[in-house]
Structures are given as C-alpha cells and as structure tokens.
Chain A
Amino acid sequence: MDLLFKIFIDPFLQMGAMPDLLVQTLWEGLVSGVLYALIALGFVLIFKASGVFNFAQGIMVVFAGLTLVGLHEKGVPAWLAVLLTLGVMLALAVAVERVVLRPLVNQPDIILFMATFGLTYVLIGIGEFIFGGEPKQMITEELGLPRGAIDVAMLGGRVTFQKIDIAAAVIASIMIAALAVFFQYTRIGRALRAVADSHKAALSVGISLNQIWAIVWFAAGIVALITGIMWGARSDVSFALQTIALKALPVLILGGFTSIPGAIVGGLIIGIGEKLAEFYWGPLVGGGIENWIAYVIALGFLMVRPQGLFGDKIIERI
C-alpha cells in the first residue's frame, strides 16, 4: 500500500507542494528535449535521404564542437572559426559521400549502417589526434551567446532560467523551422524529399543521388555544429558528449525515423518525461533512472503506435 502511495500519489503531492520545482523541472526537460530534438534531426535528415541510420551523428557533434574551439585556440576569430568549421563539415560530407557511400550503393542497409560505425571510430581517432583528449570550454562569450541567469520569483519559490538555455531553445527552434522550410519550399528540399520517397523515381527525373547525399550530410553537419555549441556551452566539449547523442535513439523510436515533426515532438516528450521521472520517481529506486527511462517511455508509445508517433505506416502485400 505504501509503495502504491509512493508511486501514484506522493509525486503529485510533491508537485502541488513545490510548484516552483515542478516548473523548474519542466523547463530543464524542455531545454534538454529541444537539444535531443536537434540531435535526432541530424539522424532523420540522413535517414530520410539515404535510408542509413548514421551512428556517427554523435561524434559529428563532438567533432564540430572541437573543430570550432580548436580553431579559436589557434587564434582564429570566433565567427571566422564558425565559418571554417562549416567548411570542415562540408568537406567531411563530400568525403563521406565519395569514400563511404558511393562505393556502397545498392548494398544492404546494414552494410551502410556498419560503415557509419567505422566512420565513428575514424572521426574519434582523427579528433583525438588533432585536438587531444582533454575537454575544452566552449567559446560562449566570443560567439556572443548570453551568460548568467534570470531568477524569477513565482509560485512561492524561485525558478532560474539560464540565459544560455533560453538561447539554446530559441536557436534550436529557429534551426528546426529553417530546416522545415528548406525541405518544404526549396528546389533542393523537394529533391531531398523525392529521394526519401524513392531513389529510383528520383533518379528517373534526373536528381543526382550523390549530390543529394553530400548536401544532406552537410545539413547534418550544420545541425551537429549547432548542437555542439549549445551542449558544449552547458557542460564542456569532450568525447563524453557523443554518448548524449545516443539519447536521440528513444526520440527516433518515439517520433519515427523519417519525420521532422516526430523528432521535435519526440525530443520534447523524452526530455520532459525523463526529467520528471528522475525527479519524482527516481528516488524510489535509488536514482539514476534517467539513462533508461527514456527507452521505457519510447517503448510505451511503440505499443500503441509501432511506427512511431509520426512515422509512416508500412503496409506490405504478402
């Protein structure tokens, strides 16, 4: 009885007793969720265009962040370093298309997936060789990103909004909106969607798969850079960040591998859900549940919608 009370009643009593902490938890979850959505977006972009689950997306976040900070350490002004980092991500996209994807055209998806595993370890090696293994501080101030916090007295307590978190939420939202517009209304965006629907049909109307793949990997590289800057500003830029990128997995399970709105909604549900679960239900089992509860949430949704919230329902004739 006591256990049932602790599971079903007590957390809600706590929410009512300390509403400021509930708001703070929701805010933390929202910010994490937006960042998860951004990471998931990188996966979705590549999956839509090539059917490849890009395991290297996490290390791309680290690689982009380290390149930016590393260039700045060499004396390159911050915004020039951003442009040069974009150049590096473009070069990486072209190299991946030429060296990894093109030779593997028509191979089973699992081969391409394994190739992205290989790419992950190549990027880890190159990153550690060039930048070393030490964590680096993000150049938040140099990029003009806000610092400090806004304390708001509310609901009988205080809620703290970190300015960098507000900036992260705003920038990630703009990024997501820009990508949605790009996909919906531009010529390249339409070509990307055509490739996503059918490679053969896209080829038959003259769309170059090679070009599209390079573009989409570059777009994922841009997303990786933004994610690296934002997450790096919250903690540090280190190789440990790539494990956070795996948080995109439950987001993708939830939102569907091919849906941009799915990545956004999935990110928010996972972000807010895991924070609420850790904060209110975590103490019942000694804490530390945030790591796996995201998968429980995602699997719970899958029981109702196996294709994910926004994924395409696959109907195959037998």
Chain B
Amino acid sequence: MLRQLTLTALAAAGFASLAAPAVAQDTIYVPLLTYRTGPFAGSGIHIANGMRDYLEMLNQRDGGIGGAKIIIEECETGYDTKKGVECYESTKGKNPVLYNPYSTGITLQLIPKAAVDKVPVLSMAYGLSASADGTNFPWVFNPPVTYWDGASVFIRHVLQAEGGNIRGKTIGLIHLDAPFGKEPIPVLEALAKEYGFNLKLYPVPAAQMQNQGSVWLSIRRDRVDWIYNQGWGAMNPTAVKEAVKNGFPIDKLVGVWWAGGDDDARAGEAGAKGYKTLNFHNTGAQFPVMQDILKHVFDKNLSQAKREQVGENLYNRGVYNSMLIAEAVRTAQRLTGKKAVNGADVRRGLEALNITEARLKEIGMEGFAAPVKVTCTDHNGHNKVFVSQWDGTKYVKASDWIEPLKNIVRPLIEEAAKEYVSKDAGWPKRTEACDAPA
C-alpha cells in the first residue's frame, strides 16, 4: 500500500514537472468584471469584447506587456453590485494589477476596499465623479472624463446650438434611477443656476427601462427643449424609440457616452438619424490598432465578437479602456523596473500616466483619441469630449473637441470629495508618494 502511494506520488511529481514550463514566465493578472448576461448585456457584451480583444492582441502580437504575459479573466457580474463584489473577493487573491468594475454601483463598493487591498480601481469615465480628486482618492482613477464634465460639455453644446443664450430654456435629464444615472444631477443643477435654464429630471427605474411611455409624455407636457440621456442597457434603445415615437427632435436628444451603442440608435430605425451622443474616442475599424486586432485576434478565431462589430462605438470603448490598462502597466514597469508588476506598482503607473499624441501614434491610435494625462492630484484629466451623431448606419464625429467647464466642475469635485471623506471618520489620509509624470 505504502509502495503504491509512493509510486503514485512520484508519478504525479514527475508529470507535474513535465507540465511546468522550463522557465517561469512573468505574468500580469487582469480581472475583467464584465456582464454578458442580464438586462444590461446589450451594452456590456460589446465593451467586454473590446476590452478582452485588445489585451489578447497584445498577448498574440507582443507576448504581453513589456515581456509579461497578460492573464485575462472575466468574471460575470450581470451589472449586479452584489455579484460584482463577489467577483472582486474571489479574484483579489490572485495578485490583480487593477480592477475595472464596469458599473458605478460596483465602483462605489470597491472604492473603500482599494486602499486596504492595495489594488487600484480604474473606472474609466464612470463611477464616482469626486474620485477624480487624487488627494483624497489615491487608489481610484476615472480618466479621461467624469460624468460632471460630460454634463458640462452637453450644456456647452446646447449653448453653441442656441446661439449662446439658454436662459428660460427647459433642459431635461432622463436617467436610469440608479447611482450611475443620478451622477450628473449636481453639476446640472449648478449649471442651471449659472445659465438660467430650467432643469427637469425624468428618472427611469430599472424595471421600467422598456416601458417609458409616461416619461416621454411628461417630456412632451413640459415642452422640453433639449434632453440629456444618462441611460444604460435596454433603457437606451427604448429612449431613442420613444423620442422618435413622440416626435421629439432627435438631434436635441444627446446621450452620455454610455448611451451611444450602435444598437441603441438602430432601434429607432430611420427616425433615429441625427441622434447624438458624447464621445471621447472615434468609431471605425480603420485605425492600425483595430487592424492589428483583426489580424492577431479575429484571424485566429480568438474573439467572441462578430468581425463587423469591430469599429462600433461600444467595442471601441472597450479597446480604449484596455489601452489605458496596458499603458498604466507599461508606466508601472518603467517606474519599478519590474516586468511582473503588482497593484501598488500599477497605482503608481496610473498616477504617472501621460499618453501623448506621439504615444497614441506608436500604439496605432493616432486620430482615435485625444492625449490623456493623469497627475497625483487630478486622477481624471477632465479631457475634451466631442459630439457623435448617428447617420443612419454609424456614428460620425459631429463637433470639434469640446473642453469641459473645468472652472465649474473641478471645485464641485473637490468639494464633493471632501464631503465624501468627512462622512467616513476612518478614511485614510494620503500617504502615497507622488512620482514624476512619465
């Protein structure tokens, strides 16, 4: 019996040694909290595909980032905060370099955990707007733009279209009745005072996303001039359909960047032509980075997306998100001299992130996006945004890059950050050193 056990153990050890690589490879573990199921899957699938495909392309083309292979693991959240936290808890022991919660609700739950577990949170253009304040939130990053910047760009767009005077106009915010949807309210209230417009709020509960009839009747009754749509998932195509159905001027319905799925606009058929959404990257598959994804991922059947979806708005959003991850890891490698960086290293990488025009060209994204610079105090950058417009088949760039109203947004962010921290007596003071920008 003992002999049998010894032989079995020896055989197992021998087999294990054969299976192990000759030289241990440096790896970087990137968990992706995604949702390919549930009511928000219509938006989530495209982003998940874009995020995964860019990282996979780096693995296939370059062998990873800076010589370290990327271990990509998706965890399905269904856009459910509870499941998102479960995903976090089940993966945090694997030495993740950062987390992408892909939900404002999940982000809010992870913010207090980030400093404790020493893993940064990258909530790209979503999450808590106040977390742009790096002094109070050293472990949370939300570049390139906050919801508050987005709302201010929307108002600037309206100002431009209305000849600079919107006093007395009625501007509506139709929003998902959830933390994500409510985010732009404080800045819109501040801007309403500043510019003299009437702000009307139209919350849409998640259970009513596909049943918005009375909301749009209210919009008609209130004679709303412009609508800002802070919607997600099944809410967006229904909003576009209802706008068309109710005869609301479609070019005066402007979505936040998350309300810019190609499927969202398609749902409105011919009537959706002219629908607008804010954007911080371009659409289309003509960029070298997209061609590399097609060559190294699609040609090898490694993607879950359809080939024709490459270039669509939300797919490209996922690619952009993973580009930020990769550039943060690269910066961390440069700062530490290590290949297999950890969460604390990538926090430094995110804080010293400086993606210039030249760098965008190097990574095949010239003309795809604007430069991004993060600093120790500013974890966002409050970068420029443009307006995209649906031409019946795709989104096209319909404005120049528009600067957010930083003079209004930034003080509000710092004030909100202080308020957030003051509510939590045990909130740690920043002790992290500040690296020089890359």
- Residues of chain A touching chain B, judged by Cβ–Cβ distance below 8 Å, are 14, 18, 21, 24-25, 28, 31-32, 124, 128, 132-135, 137, 149, 160, 162, 231, 234-236, 238-241, 243-244, 246-247, 274-275, 278-279, 282-283, 286-288, 290-291
Beyond A132-B45, A160-B245, A291-B207, 17 additional pairs, beta carbon < 8 A: A25-B214, A28-B213, A31-B213, A124-B37, A133-B36, A133-B45, A134-B42, A135-B267, A160-B247, A238-B42, A238-B210, A240-B234, A246-B207, A279-B221, A287-B215, A288-B203, A290-B211
A-B contacts, 19 listed (Cβ < 8 Å): A133-B36, A135-B42, A135-B267, A149-B245, A231-B210, A235-B237, A236-B237, A238-B39, A239-B39, A243-B206, A244-B211, A283-B218, A287-B202, A288-B204, A288-B205, A290-B205, A290-B211, A290-B214, A291-B205
Given contacts A160-B247, A162-B245, A288-B204, contact A243 B217 (CB under 8 A): no
B20-55 vs A, Cβ < 8 Å mask (1 yes, 0 no): 000000000000000111111110110000000000
A239–B45 alpha-carbon span in the complex (Å): 13
| B246 CB within 8 Å of chain A | yes
Contact of A239 among B37, B211, B217, B241 (CB under 8 A): B37
Query: How many angstroms between the C-alpha atoms of A233 and B404 in the bound complex?
Result: 38
Q: Which residues of B contact A133 (CB under 8 A)?
A: 35-38, 41-42, 44-45
Residues of A within 8 A of B41 (CB): 128, 132-134, 238-239
Quick check: is B238 within 8 A (CB to CB) of the other chain? yes
By beta carbon, the residue of chain A nearest B42 is A135
Query: Which of chain A's residues have a CB closer than 8 A to the CB of B37?
Result: 124, 128, 133, 239
CB distance from B256 to the nearest CB of A (A): 18
Contacts of B40 in A (CB 8 A): 240
A286 and B45 in contact (CB under 8 A), knowing A24-B217, A241-B210?
Answer: no
B side interface size, CB within 8 A? 40
B213 and A275 within 8 A (CB): yes
What is the count of residue pairs linking A and B with beta-carbon distances less than 8 angstroms?
121
Chain A residues, CB < 8 A from B202? 287
Chain A residues contacting B233 (CB-CB under 8 Å) are: 240
A134 to B177, CA, bound (A): 22
Task: Tell me the minimal C-beta distance from A131 to chain B in angstroms.
Answer: 11
Residues of A with C-beta under 8 A to B234: 135, 235-236, 238, 240
Q: Tell me the complex Cα distance, A124–B217, Å.
A: 33
Residue of B nearest to A137 (CB): B267
Q: Are B267 and A236 in contact (CB under 8 A)?
A: yes
Bound-state CA distance A282–B238 (Å) is: 20
Residues of A within 8 A of B210 (CB): 231, 234-236, 238, 240-241, 244
Pair B246/A160 contact, Cβ less than 8 Å? yes
Residue B297 is within 8 A (CB to CB) of chain A in the complex: no
Least CB distance, B174 to chain A, in whole angstroms: 10
Contact status B220-A135, CB under 8 Å: no
CA of A107 to CA of B36, assembled, Å: 36
Minimum-distance CB pairs A-B, first 8: A133-B41, A240-B39, A288-B203, A240-B234, A235-B210, A278-B214, A291-B205, A135-B42
A239 contacts B38, C-beta separation under 8 Å = yes
In B239-278, the 8 Å CB interface with A consists of 241, 245-247, 263, 266-267
Which A residues are in CB contact (< 8 Å) with B218? 278-279, 282-283, 287
Residue interface bits B177-216, CB-to-A below 8 A is 1, else 0: 1000000000000000000000001111111111101110
**Cβ of A132 to closest chain B Cβ, rounded Å:** 7
Q: List, in ascending order, chain A residues with CB within 8 A of B266's CB.
A: 137
Note all chain B residues with C-beta closer than 8 A to A18.
221
Distance in Å: Cβ of A74 to nearest Cβ of chain B: 15
CB nearest to A36 among chain B residues: B211
| Residues in chain B near residue A241, CB distance under 8 A | 210
The CA of A291 and the CA of B203, in the complex, are separated in Å by 11
Partner of A134, one of B206, B209, B263: B263
Q: How far is it, in angstroms, between the C-alpha of A66 and the C-alpha of B246 when the chains are bound?
A: 27
List B contacts of A288 (CB < 8 A).
177, 203-205, 208
CA distance A132 to B305 in the complex (A): 11
Q: Is the beta-carbon distance between A135 and B263 smaller than 8 angstroms? A: yes
> Do B42 and A279 touch (CB < 8 A)?
no
In the complex, A247→B42 CA distance in Å?
A: 22
**Docked pose: A290 CA to B177 CA in angstroms:** 12
**Closest beta carbon of chain B to A56's beta carbon, Å:** 17
- Report Cα–Cα, A283/B219, bound state, in Å: 11
B244 to chain A, nearest CB (A): 10
Considering residues B209, B210, B221, B266, which has the most beta carbons from chain A within 10 angstroms of its beta carbon? B210
Q: How far is the CB of B307 from chain A (nearest CB, A)?
A: 16
Q: How far, in angstroms, from A149 to B177 measured CA to CA in the complex?
A: 30
